Structure 1
Amino acid sequence: MKKLLAIFLSIGLILSFSVIESKEASAKTTVKKYANCKALNKDYKGGVARSASVKNKGGKTRYKPFVSKALYDANANKDRDHDFIACER
């Protein structure tokens, strides 16, 4: 009985880890690369920050940036002042 319970628990753990990994893999493929800041600002008014702790070097901004490392990395070439916030407004 104990062996059977251990086998079922092991199978359940293995299946749960595989489901989590597949969700993470699908989330990584949905990152969008924008052609320019105008297109990015349509979806994210304040731009995209690499982390929540970054500070804007360019002065006062009107909107708070969306925080996403993957999205920032895909659009890092749009960060002109290299403050880890792309297309801030």
Structure 2
Amino acid sequence: MKKILTIIFTTTLVLGISTFSPTSTDAATAKVFKNCTELNKEYPGGVAKDTKVTNKGGKTKYKPTVSAELYKANASKDRDKDGIACER
């Protein structure tokens, strides 16, 4: 009986450790910028939430960087709500 309990405990422990892996998502590391000037220093074209969005604000000079997590962290800076934050 003791041998069976040891095997069950060991198996549970091994499976528990192997399935546990800390996930480092972009959302956890996505930088929140205080304004568009700061964001545009690092991302001149702004940040788009995906490749399918189109600019509603007119002609732009730069192509936006596509990152859903970065866009989500800075969505408040998307004034025209077109899916691109701080486009220029």
TM-score, length-scaled by structure 2: 0.74
Unaligned 5+ residue runs, structure 1?
Answer: 1-10
What letter corresponds to residue 81 of structure 2 in structure 1? H
Report the AA paired with residue 73 of structure 1.
K
Q: What code does the residue aligned with 2:60 have?
A: T
Give the structure with the higher percent helix.
Answer: 1
CA-based RMSD of the aligned residues comes to 2.2
1:20-61, Cα deviation, whole Å (9 max, x unpaired): xx2344x43111110000000011010000111000001111
Q: Which runs of 4+ in 1 moved over 6 A?
A: none
Structure 1 letter corresponding to 2:35: N
Q: For 1:35 and 1:28, how far apart are their aligned partners in 2?
A: 17
| Correspondence for 1:55 | 54
Count of residues in Structure 1 that have an aligned counterpart in Structure 2 = 77
Aligned counterparts of 1:28 and 1:70: Cα–Cα separation in 2: 5
- The residue number in structure 2 matching 1:23 is 23
Q: Percent identity?
A: 54
**Rg comparison, structure with higher value:** 2
The 8 Å contact of residues 56 and 80 in structure 2, kept in 1 or not, is answered as: yes
